[in-house]
Amino acid sequence: MQKRTKIIIASIVAGALALGATAAIAGPIVYRDLIVGEADAAPSVTAAPTASSDADASASTTDLSGEWTVADGSYAGYRVDEVLNGTDVTVTGRTAEVDGTLTVDGLSLTGAEFTVDVASITTDSANRDDYFRSTALRTDEFPTATFVLTEPISVAEAPAVGEVQQVAATGELTLAGETRQVTVELEAVLDGATGQVAGSIPITFADYGVEAPNLGFVSVEPDGFVEFSLELERA
């Protein structure tokens, strides 16, 4: 256990020192604005109606029952704030390696399960990514993260094509081998034959056994977000 702790600390120090050295040479603000660059925007739905007529749109959304799957164009990842010599730097990591299924019965979402290949998440920094995989989430032991819906979601009437809905989903998020119940506010939209769901789950890293490093000149905030944007199609 003591040997493993020393290895983890060494990994944290090495990753942070590599980032800190770059920032020390360039300056925190230059590092944030030119090297890291602007963080990816928070996920939101972008689907637009494609039904050929109002009649077609109505027919396509009155019965949503059945199985739906995650389609190409989906992504998931994380958002975290770093503080470098007093300068805030927002970092986002992304991967397109997302799978999942949803079960709809009438106007209720009765089941949903999504899996993310966390080992494939990348940011602007290879050093940060190495720390993320080897130390933070230990992807050799826990290569995936999952979300499983635990409470059905129901709506009063069939959604209109192109109309964005706000719904809350309660489920279990499993990250780095730890499972916690979470509630996430979702945006959802249908374009007739397909749909899109987007949201962010606020997390505290310590809840999942992940300790945010703090080396004085650079530190990582203890809270962050798990983010996702899912393209959906009928199975």
pLDDT average, residue stretch 208-220: 76
What is the four-CA torsion angle of 193, 155, 110, 197, rounded to 10 degrees? Answer: 50
- Which of 193, 195, 185 shows the shortest CA–CA distance to 163? 195
**Percentage of residues of the chain with pLDDT beyond 70:** 74
SS (HEC) of 48-69 = CCCCCCHHHHHHHHHCCCEEEE
- Which class does domain 2-234 fall in? mainly beta
Q: Give the range among 11-25, 77-91, 206-220 with minimum mean pLDDT.
A: 11-25
- d(Cα 229, Cα 167) in Å, to the nearest integer? 15
The predicted pLDDT at position 50 comes to 52
Per-residue pLDDT at 3: 46
User: 44 pLDDT band (50/70/90 cuts)?
Assistant: confident
In this prediction, residues 37-45 reach a mean pLDDT of 78
pLDDT of 58 > 90? The answer is no
Whole-number Å distance between alpha carbons of 194 and 232: 6
Going by the DSSP 8-state scheme, the letter that residue 214 receives in this structure is B
Q: What end-to-end distance do the CA atoms of the chain give, in Å? A: 46
What percent of the chain lies above the pLDDT cut of 90?
Answer: 50
pLDDT higher than 60, residue 20: no
Averaged pLDDT, 55-70? 72
Q: What is the pLDDT of residue 6?
A: 43
Q: For residue 196, what pLDDT band results from cuts at 50, 70 and 90?
A: very high
Within 8 A by CB and 6+ apart from 81, the residues are 88, 89, 90, 91, 220, 221, 224
Please report which confidence band the pLDDT of residue 5 belongs to, taking 50, 70 and 90 as the band edges.
very low
Spatial CA neighbour of 139 closest among 124, 122, 114: 122
Please say whether the beta carbons of 15 and 131 come within 8 A: yes
Determine the pLDDT at residue 136.
Answer: 84
> What is the DSSP-derived secondary structure letter of residue 1?
-
Structure tokens at 67: 């199985």
Contact indicator for 210, 137 with CB cutoff of 8 Å: yes
Rounded to an integer, what distance in angstroms lies between the CA atom of residue 51 and that of residue 67?
Answer: 20
Indicate if the pLDDT at residue 181 is higher than 80: yes
Higher pLDDT pick, 205 / 191: 205
Predicted structure pTM score:
0.78
For residue 12, the SS3 value is helix
> If you average pLDDT over residues 45-60, what whole number do you get?
54
Residues 6+ apart with CB under 8 A from 147: 112, 113, 114, 171, 172, 173, 174, 182, 201
Mean pLDDT of 186-198: 90
